[in-house]
Copies of this chain bind each other. A is one copy, B any other.
Amino acid sequence: MKGIILFGHGARNAEWAEPFHRIRAAILARDPGLPVELGFLELMRPTFAEAVDGLTARGVTEIVVVPVFMAAGSHVKKDLPQMAADAMARHPGLAIELAAPVGEVPAVIDAMACHALDITGNAVAAR
């Protein structure tokens, strides 16, 4: 069974995680049975390792990690592959695939661009 981890940085303020919970809810609204968890690098829980453990406990054998980052910095390029390697070492038979950060996805870029135009009152000119 496949599952998803939405990988985020984490912050001290619990409110900061709100958009991450909303992405998870939007996924579950479309596919209620899909195993999907948040997993944070630091300062918040569940941690990435806890998210992996939670998914494997539900029978997930393939995890796709979606980095909820605007761009690929060292957290995505170095920390995440190391955490994924550690998790696979801890769970023999588990496959983890690392996707590109969401900020690189064309549909996400378009949504951000359209939003910027909308809020500046350029929505009409944009269509």
Number of copies: 2
For window 34-58 of A, CB contacts with B under 8 Å fall at 34, 36
A117 lies within 8 A of B71 (CB)? no
A6 lies within 8 A of B71 (CB)? no
Instruction: State the 7 A-B residue pairs at the shortest beta-carbon distance, nearest first.
Output: A26-B113, A19-B103, A111-B111, A30-B126, A108-B111, A16-B71, A107-B111
How many chain A residues sit at the interface, stated as a range, is 35 or more
Inter-chain CA distance A72–B13, complex, in Å, is 9
For window 12-34 of A, CB contacts with B under 8 Å fall at 13, 15-20, 22-23, 26-27, 29-31, 34
Inter-chain CA distance A111–B99, complex, in Å, is 15
Known: A31-B122, A117-B31. A26 touches B109 (CB 8 A): yes
